[in-house]
Amino acid sequence: MCGRFRFRGELREDELKHIPGLEIRSAFPPRYNIAPTQMSPVIRSTVGGGHEVEALRWGLVPFWAKDQSFGSKAINARSETVTEKPAFRAAFKSRRCLVLSHGFFEWENLPDKKKQPWLFTLPGQGLMVFAGLWESWKPKDTAPDTPRTETFTILTTTATTRGAWIHDRFPVILEPEDWLHWMDDAISPQELARLVEKVQTGRAATEMNQWPVTPKMNTVKYEAPDAVKPLSQDQ
């Protein structure tokens, strides 16, 4: 699964060159410990055929949900069943997005029942893009001008090679040449399966860096630069 991740805070043009004409209207601060229900930037298609970066709330809330608490149960969507599950199938058809990160965290179970957090990044700690879905929700029987809550979820797949030792599920990390394709509404379940297979055998599966980080990361409230630094032997 993917339950926490980080975002460096800067979006470089060279990293986003595969999305021509991308609108970045806001600056996004660095985040060292993004947790469910918090805001984080995603890229999505616009009505005019372009693309934009917006901060959405992590934890997908489908349009039919009674309240926003549903989102805490939908931070991840299994790629194998995303086209069938009621919470995700509508978003899969027309509301796909790219979740921007620079690495994600998983927890190792230690013999003393403690948990050791590990950070997984691409080489050079470059931009790591997850396949995501987004939704727009507001309470029923409210005024037409009631603000809508926009939320997202991260697709996951079976963990392979570099990370399978710590967890059996990993986020679907897309290669740059597949970013636009993923946001294409015409993509089929068969094409999704092809993209996932590529993830399981590609650079994200075989070249990811990984290192233990401070146990302070065991709380979602911890937010400091040392959250992503390798844990020293004397800690």
Q: Answer yes or no: 106 catalytic.
A: yes
Choose, from 54, 97, 106, 135, the residue flagged as catalytic: 106
What does the angle CA 23 – CA 43 – CA 218 come to, to the nearest 5 degrees?
Answer: 130
Choose, from 2, 54, 97, 135, the residue flagged as catalytic: 2
Position 214, amino acid:
T
Q: Answer yes or no: 207 catalytic.
A: no
Distance CA 62, CA 157 (A): 21
Catalytic residues: 2, 106
